[in-house]
Amino acid sequence: MKLNFYGGVSEIGGNKILVNNNDSSNSSKDSSLFLDFGMSFSKAGNYFSEFLQPRKLNGIIDFVELGLLPKIKGIYREDYLKHCGINSPENPSVDGVLLSHAHMDHSSYIHHLREDIPIFMRKESEIILKVLEETGKGSFAEILNLKKSFHYVPKARGEGYKKLIGKDSIVKRNIVTLDSYSPIEINGFKITSIPVDHSLPGSSAYFLENDNETIVYTGDIRFHGRNKKYSDIFVKKSQKFNPTIMLCEGTRINENSKKTEKDIEIEATNLIKNHDGLAIVNYPIRDLDRLITFYNVAKNTDRILAINSKQAHMLELLDSEKSIENNYPNLKDSSICIYFPRKKQGLISGEHYVSFDGSWKILDSNDEEVLKDYEIWEREFLEKYNVITYKDLKEIPNNYIFRCDFFELKELIDIKPKNGLYIHSLTEPFNEEMEIDLKRVTNWLRHFNLLPMHKMHVSGHGSGEEILNMIKEINPEKLYPIHTEHVESFDVLKDEGIEIIHPNLSY
């Protein structure tokens, strides 16, 4: 097998690794697979920001020009290529993408790929990407489906053309759901998805093999989360697999913190249990281990965890999929509720003054009017589950733990918390933009007397000691350190007889 690295080299994230299965006796039997196809936050941040983004009208050209996407024929979507005058090959040049998990630094640039390239993933990853696609409004967020851009059709009446929009513009990608531990054949490859512990559901390592090589790809992995057992099983199976090549992440290769989710649960419980006032917490929306942590904290402190509709949507879809091992809270549980902010007309909060013929009168909003303030996917939650508004958090703050992310800070203007406390359960900033965001958060907290900020977080990645011990146990012939800024820290494994290869970017 031949490896080409188009991301994840001397950086954290951005994994795009092409594995070629070359048959020297018959070139028609050559095949290739991408291990992830993610966005490099560090490289994208060198050129773009929140208000300076690539131009969709330019297809992939802005990305290729700046080295954010590889210049490879036969992998990109036809609408983007044709619009820019680039011929699109009839057939794809790769046989698929093996997605390790649904974080953007591993999945985001699938948006640019042709719809006929199979994307292999576990069911949990598909559900998370479905929620992000249904609830988001980003310009480059089409992962499970793509919408044909730059397509025009004849008008039904009269002359001329109109832009293709709505359901007619949607094209489903070839999404292939993988069963854990069940090998499949892909054009000369034998592929097995192996669950691992990470900070969101559906995380997977992969075994790849042909007649000559056996490859282990860790994806992102840790050993201190609520699903540690999966990572332990992965190590045992990898030992038996006897890999010739191992591609291993090393995000925290130089760190050795041993803090666990249980430690956060204990710390947060002790902080909140005797607190008189609203408890506010921010944690990643896809980190359902962390949701369980604060759900347990809510039960420990006789409070109710208030989540937003996006996270509720994720929980409901996971609960409806019977093939998934589901340890997450049910939305009908008395220790969880859904917070609905005011939107559009703001009718959810009750009485409102409206204008009738130039005079202002009080209008009691009815259910139908309230529903119109929200997206279609949100409306079912208003009718089915325990829903609260800012009035509940304002009037009975001791009853709740309010999950409030960066974009929900404006809710504090309505809530006006008195004697509140704030827990920041997120990773430390790793770029200038995140540092600026954290300063903005601090300004909000200062304005509402919510300082000090209580920081409680554990990483989605294994410590240096855990990663090195894992590699020693698996004992591959060759090791490629990826997803790390410290490849040199793996060189200590040379004493174990493991050949350490520092990968180079292929473009």
269 and 197, same domain (yes or no): no
Q: What is the DSSP string of 226-246?
A: TTHHHHHHHHHHHHHH--SEE
**40 near 50, Cβ under 8 Å?**
no
Strand pairing report for 175-177 and 499-500? unpaired
Q: Which domain holds residue 346?
A: 261-455
- Dist CA 392 CA 338 (whole Å): 11
Determine, yes or no, domain membership for 287.
yes
What pLDDT is attached to residue 320?
Answer: 94
- Order of strands, sheet of 119-121, starting from the edge strand that comes earlier in the sequence: 2-5, 17-21, 31-35, 97-98, 119-121, 175-177
CATH number of the domain at 126, please. 3.60.15.10
**pLDDT tens digit sequence for 23-47:** 655 555 689 999 999 999 999 999 9
- Give percent above pLDDT 90 in the chain: 86
* 493 occurs within a structural domain: yes
Task: Fill in the DSSP letter of residue 490.
Answer: G
Comparing 18-27, 107-116, 181-190, which segment has the lowest mean pLDDT?
18-27
Clarify whether residues 85 and 136 are in a common domain. Answer: yes
Instruction: Tell whether 506 is covered by a domain.
Output: no
Any residues with CB less than 8 A from the CB of 79 and at least 6 apart, and which?
A: 59, 148, 149, 150, 151
Q: Mean of the per-residue pLDDT values for the chain? A: 94
Residues 399-439 have pLDDT tens digits of 999 999 999 999 999 999 999 999 999 998 888 888 999 99
- Do 251 and 265 lie in a common domain? no
Same domain assignment for residues 266 and 231: no
Q: Above 60 in pLDDT, residue 10?
A: yes
Say whether both 448 and 468 belong to one domain: no
Residue identified by tokens 């490289």 is 43
Residue 382 and residue 278 share a domain: yes
Question: CA–CA distance from 487 to each of 79, 246, 249, 295, 329 (Å)?
Answer: 39, 14, 10, 38, 39
Kindly state whether residue 309 falls inside one of the protein's structural domains: yes
pTM exceeds cut of 0.85? yes
HEC profile of 407-476: HHCCHHHHHCCCCCEEEECCCCCCCHHHHHHHHHHHHHHHHCCCCCEEECCCCCCCEHHHHHHHHHHHCC
- What pLDDT score does 23 carry? 64
Helices (H), 242-366: 261-272, 288-300, 309-320
pLDDT at 363 > cutoff 80? no
450 lies in the same domain as 482: no
Q: Give the domain-ending residue among 433, 455, 477.
A: 455
Q: Is pLDDT at 66 greater than 90 in this prediction?
A: yes
> Which residues, 6+ apart, have CB-to-CB distance to 482 below 8 Å?
5, 8, 9, 15, 17, 247, 248, 249, 250, 503
| Band of pLDDT at residue 356, cut at 50, 70 and 90 | confident
Sign of CA dihedral 112, 114, 119, 124: positive
Digit-coded pLDDT (tens) for 192-233: 999 999 999 999 999 999 989 999 999 999 999 999 999 999
pLDDT at 396 over 80: yes
The 10s digit of each residue's pLDDT in 302-319 is 999 999 999 999 999 999
89 pLDDT exceeds 80? yes
Residue 286 in domain? yes
pLDDT per residue as tens digits for the range 146-170: 999 999 999 988 889 999 999 999 9
Q: Dump pLDDT digits (tens) for 252-296.
A: 999 998 899 999 999 999 999 999 999 999 999 999 999 999 999
Statement: residue 138 has pLDDT above 80: no
Q: Domain total for the chain?
A: 2
339 and 234 fall within a common domain: no
Share of the chain above pLDDT 70, in %: 99
Residues 470 and 401 reside in one and the same domain: no
Same domain, yes or no: 250 and 339: no
Q: Is residue 505 part of a domain?
A: no
**CATH number reported for the structural domain that contains residue 431 in this entry:** 3.40.50.10710
pLDDT at 157: 86
Tokens of 139: 């310009």
pLDDT tens for residues 321-348? 988 888 899 999 999 999 999 999 898 9
The verdict on 42 and 155 lying in the same domain is yes
Q: Are strands 119-121 and 175-177 parallel, antiparallel or unpaired?
A: parallel
